[in-house]
Amino acid sequence: MKKLDILSPQESGTPKRSPLAENGKNCIAGVLIFGDSLKEKGKKAKQNFWGKQGREHFVQNLIAYNQWRAEWLEQNAGELEAIGYADFSPDAQQKFEEEFLRDLILYQQCASPIEREELTRDDDVETEEVDSLAKRNLKPGEILDLEWENIGDKGAKALAQMELKPGVTFNLEGNNIGDEGAKALAQMELKPGVTFNLEGNKIGDEGAEALAQMKLKPGVTFNLEGNNVGIKGVKAFAHMELKPGVKLNLDENNIGDAGAKALAQMELKEGVSFKLGMNKIGVEGAKALAQMKLQPGVELDLWYNNVGDEGAKALAQMELQHGVILDLWHNKIGDEGAKALAQMKLKEGVTINLEENNIGNEGAKALAQMELKEGVTIKLPKNKIGSEGKAILQKWQDDAHARGVNCRVYR
């Protein structure tokens, strides 16, 4: 989900945030009236804001907002309390930031009046249209995009009769599909290279257990990000065979440490992408995942969890084969965790993302002792590294370049 170069608002064309003035209060009041409509269609609105740049570029800019968010909250706490967000305890605040504020800030500052109107418009696809689509003969590589059309379980059952030829993209993001719809879709055959997107639906453990019985052929992308998959569903996925090149995205579910322990039994073959971001995985989960063997080209993405220093120490015992991506963005890793990770051997093409952690100069100094190989990328933006540490990191990269090694260290 994340890009490695984080642009400032000025560089990216992102509007600067302004104080929450009277017109801002009115805007927020309007947003709150939208209620469930805003919550359920928030992702669609975001994509409208950044549609010309694509989803990944949007996330890139969203990350850039994080560095100002705490300041924004502090400055506007009184006004936020006035509209009903008075609980500023750490747990409530984290949920506030993750589920509401990021949408609200972007909505308030980026949505034009036309886009606000579009947000409340009913775009749902009629049942007859879904039935008609279900009879289509999709060609190899064709895209069927039904994102945010509210087809529900009934529509999913109709579409489950379709044949997905190799390379087809089948996008059902944000459609209020629950367990019954998932059970129907689980009967489909996913041929090589198919993209099967169920992000942002309402699929729980029963639906996940059914979907986990599907055979994922090489190159299939299977996206369940932002559903309600818990420990029972996760245990079912733990028995799924991930063939080479498969991408399995379980970001933003309810996995936790118990789920991570179950998933750690999986075999990650060459080129597999395994995404577990934003799942409240802590030290115990990290210790379990550290037992996995990462084959060449595997991506293990643990962004926005609670790995911390102790979890990082466990993950540091892993062997990173050529081309492996280990993503630890926003995981509360400090200098001690960085020092442990610095003991890892970097093979060609490895990427380690430590962006937005708590690493300071001492951690940077330790990491700079690693030998940079061809194609290696180390990402360290938005840590607590001062000028001394950044100078050391720059020299680390420059010395590698002087040896003819093509690598990148992002500071």
Spell 98-129 as b/e; 16+ CB within 10 A means b: eebbbbbbbbbbbbeeeebeebeeeebbeeee
Please tell me what DSSP assigns to residue 238. T
**H helix intervals, 50-198:** 55-75, 77-82, 90-96, 102-110, 113-120, 127-134, 152-159, 179-185
Cα dihedral across residues 393, 397, 402, 405: positive or negative: positive
**CB contact at 8 A, 373 and 399:** no
Task: Give the model's pLDDT for residue 51.
Answer: 42
**CB contact at 8 A, 188 and 162:** yes
**H helix intervals, 7-99:** 9-12, 22-34, 36-49, 55-75, 77-82, 90-96
Q: Using CA atoms, how far apart are residues 321 and 253, in angstroms rounded to an integer? A: 28
Burial class (CB in 10 A: 0-12, 13-18, 19+), 386: exposed
- Residue 58 identity: F
User: What share of residues in the chain are helix, strand, coil (percent, to 5)?
Assistant: 45, 10, 50
**Bridge partner residues of 169 (DSSP):** 143, 195
Contacts (Cβ under 8 Å, ≥6 apart) of 268? 242, 274, 292, 293, 294, 295, 298, 300
**CB contact at 8 A, 349 and 322:** yes
Average pLDDT, 10 consecutive residues per value, the chain (411 residues): 33 37 48 47 48 44 52 62 53 53 49 37 60 85 90 96 94 96 98 95 97 96 96 96 95 96 96 96 98 96 97 97 96 98 97 97 98 97 96 97 96 93
Contacts (Cβ under 8 Å, ≥6 apart) of 68? 17
H or E element that contains 110:
helix 102-110
| Secondary structure of 19-44 as H, E, C letters | CCCHHHHHHHHHHHHHCHHHHHHHHH
Task: Give the model's pLDDT for residue 410.
Answer: 95
Q: Using CA atoms, how far apart are residues 272 and 268, in angstroms rounded to an integer? A: 6
In a 13 Å sphere around the CA of 46, the CA atoms on its Cβ side amount to 21
Domains of the chain: 9-120 (no CATH), 127-410 (3.80.10.10)
Give the distance from CA 124 to its chain's centroid.
26
Cβ-based neighbour number of residue 55 at 10 Å: 13
Task: Give the model's pLDDT for residue 212.
Answer: 98
Q: What are the φ/ψ torsions at residue 116 (nearest 5 degrees)?
A: -65, -40
Q: What are the φ/ψ torsions at residue 222 (nearest 5 degrees)?
A: -125, 110
Do you know the residue count of the chain? 411
Please tell me what DSSP assigns to residue 371. P
**CB contact at 8 A, 385 and 362:** no
Task: Give the model's pLDDT for residue 76.
Answer: 64
Closest residue by Cα to residue 404 from 374, 380, 360, 367? 374
